[in-house]
C-alpha cells in the first residue's frame, strides 16, 4: 500500500495496485471521484478500471496523479 498527501486530500493505493481511494477536499476535482464534493471517508477514484497495475500515486495542492507499470 502506498499513500500520498496533497494540500487537503489523501490518496491510498490498494495492495494489489488495481485501485486507488481518495478522501479530503474535492472542490477542484482532485479526488477523481466524479464530483467536487468533500469526502470524509475514502472513495474509489473513477475511470481507472482496466489499467495495468498502478505502481505509484502522487498528490499536490489541487491535483492527483498515478503511474502504471507501463509508465
What secondary structure does DSSP assign to 29-55, as a single string?
A: STT-SSS---EEEEEEPTT-TTPPPEE
Provide the CA 28 distance to its chain's centre, in angstroms. 13
More confident residue, 4 or 51: 4
pLDDT at position 43 is: 87
Share of residues in the chain with pLDDT > 90 (%): 39
pLDDT digits (tens, 9 = 90+) for 25-56: 999 888 888 888 999 999 888 877 777 788 89
Sole residue written with cell 464534493 = 37
pTM for this prediction: 0.83
Distance CA 53, CA 39 (A): 25
pLDDT at residue 59 greater than cutoff 90: yes
> Which triple of cell numbers denotes residue 10?
489523501
Amino acid at each position: 500500500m502506498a499513500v500520498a498527501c496533497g494540500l487537503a486530500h489523501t490518496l491510498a493505493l490498494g495492495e494489489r495496485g488495481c485501485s486507488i481511494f481518495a478522501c479530503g477536499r474535492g472542490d477542484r476535482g482532485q479526488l477523481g471521484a466524479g464530483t467536487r464534493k468533500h469526502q470524509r471517508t475514502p472513495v474509489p477514484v473513477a475511470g481507472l478500471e482496466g489499467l495495468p497495475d498502478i505502481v505509484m500515486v502522487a498528490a499536490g495542492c489541487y491535483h492527483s496523479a498515478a503511474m502504471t507499470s507501463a509508465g
